[in-house]
Amino acid sequence: MKQKEETNVRKGEVSMAQYIRFDWAMKRLLRDKANFAVLEGLITTLLGQKMNIQKLLESESNQDDEDNKHNRVDILAENDKGEIFIIEIQNNTEYAYFQRMLFGTSKLVTEYINRGQGYEKIRKIYSINIVYFNLGNGTDVVYHGKTEFRGIHNNELLSLSPFQQQKFEVSEVSDLYPEYYILKVNDFDRWSKVPLEQWIYFLNTGDIPDDADAPGLKEAREKLELERMSKSELAAYYRHLDNVVILRDNFITARGEGRLDGLAEGLAEGRAVGLAEGRAEGRAEGRAEGRAEGREEERLDIARNMKAEGMSVSLIAKLTNLEQTVIEKL
């Protein structure tokens, strides 16, 4: 097979590669025990330790409503150690996503301990989050969060006693608490020899080059080819892609319109204040010029932000009434 060319995917676009998008695969294919190797490969690569899925548990997306089922997908899995893994894909921006991650793990802590059991029976939980939007403010593509306790005077890391290590069969306090992984895949579109970066490339572009050797990608190449799908499955798959694009476009449009509404309110207030000050100072001409310049600069700032979010030049022009040539130079 000829080596496929490297694919660059712009933010906000849905890749149309020859392999099934991972969110659809999680919905329809990866819940089959015969396909667990794909998920096991992703988790093995991310955590750096062998993963063996014993079974899938009931996940929240099984009860999603029509509007949310295209935006978010999750799988809840248990490994051979009794640890719980929640793998979630979020297609569109959710500003409270950090809190959502916390809620998800907290809920699992209480759901998977029986009444009357001691706290030592609380399960270890890993929250793996694959997001297709700019979550937070950071330049990396993979983030890891865990709980540690440090002294406020000497910065000493609080550790488990030898008895606790033996009792709980872990070495660190952080091993007892949920851990979080965030994969901001939209910011990564170059092929790499590093296994984790190969996975992120696939999650972003939907492409698996011939020299992919990360755990699970060989199985993904075999299981997730579009050619393996029936006509009815392909039709459902493409409807899903269309819905993802529509949801994303609707969100971007609403966000742009909301910014313009806010701008209009702010300018109206600014004009009122400027008018009052201008009357007092007798500077009517300067006031008019200043307002015009301020409005223009404000529109340019909004256009810059929209462009940075990946909105198309044509949509920005429509929302801001700026010329496309002006926007392209920003």
Q: What is the pLDDT of residues 58-75, one digit of tens each?
A: 765 444 444 444 456 789
124 and 167 both lie in a single domain: yes
Assess contact for 287 and 275: CB atoms under 8 A. Answer: yes
For the segment 19-24, the average pLDDT, to the nearest whole number, is 78
Provide the 10 A C-beta neighbour count for residue 269: 10
Higher local confidence (pLDDT), 297 or 122: 122
Q: Evaluate whether residue 210 is within a structural domain.
A: yes
Assess contact for 109 and 125: CB atoms under 8 A. Answer: yes
For the segment 190-196, the average pLDDT, to the nearest whole number, is 92
Assess contact for 128 and 77: CB atoms under 8 A. Answer: no
Pairing between β-strand 179-184 and β-strand 125-131 as defined by DSSP bridges: parallel
127 and 38 both lie in a single domain: yes
319 and 254 both lie in a single domain: yes
Pairing between β-strand 72-79 and β-strand 53-57 as defined by DSSP bridges: antiparallel
Q: Evaluate whether residue 55 is within a structural domain.
A: yes
Last residue of a domain, one of 201, 227, 253: 227
pLDDT tens track for 285-325: 655 566 666 677 777 877 777 777 667 777 777 767 788 88
The pLDDT score that the predictor gives to residue 261 is 58
Q: Evaluate whether residue 7 is within a structural domain.
A: no
- What's the mean pLDDT when you consider all of the chain? 79
For the segment 88-116, the average pLDDT, to the nearest whole number, is 91
217 and 303 both lie in a single domain: no
Q: What is the count of structural domains for the chain? A: 2
191 and 54 both lie in a single domain: yes
- pLDDT category at 5 given cuts 50, 70, 90 is very low
What the block records as the tokens of 87 is 């793998």
Phi, psi of 68 (to 5 degrees): -95, -20
Q: Evaluate whether residue 124 is within a structural domain.
A: yes
Higher local confidence (pLDDT), 92 or 316: 92
Q: Evaluate whether residue 200 is within a structural domain.
A: yes
197 and 269 both lie in a single domain: no
Q: Output the CA angle 294-299-302, nearest 5 degrees.
A: 125
Higher local confidence (pLDDT), 266 or 327: 327
Last residue of a domain, one of 192, 227, 262: 227
Last residue of a domain, one of 169, 198, 227: 227
Residues in the chain: 330
82 and 108 both lie in a single domain: yes
For the segment 257-283, the average pLDDT, to the nearest whole number, is 59
165 and 263 both lie in a single domain: no
193 and 161 both lie in a single domain: yes
The pLDDT score that the predictor gives to residue 288 is 58
Higher local confidence (pLDDT), 104 or 259: 104
Higher local confidence (pLDDT), 19 or 7: 19
Q: Which residues pair with 144 in a beta bridge?
A: 181
Rounded CA separation 203/226 (Å): 15
Q: Evaluate whether residue 8 is within a structural domain.
A: no
Indicate if the pLDDT at residue 259 is higher than 70. no
The pLDDT score that the predictor gives to residue 300 is 82
27 and 93 both lie in a single domain: yes
Q: Evaluate whether residue 10 is within a structural domain.
A: no
This prediction has a pTM of 0.67
The pLDDT score that the predictor gives to residue 249 is 54
127 and 178 both lie in a single domain: yes
Higher local confidence (pLDDT), 58 or 17: 58
pLDDT tens track for 128-183: 999 988 899 999 999 999 999 999 999 999 999 999 999 999 999 999 999 999 99
Q: Evaluate whether residue 117 is within a structural domain.
A: yes
188 and 109 both lie in a single domain: yes
> The domain containing residue 126 runs over which residues?
22-227
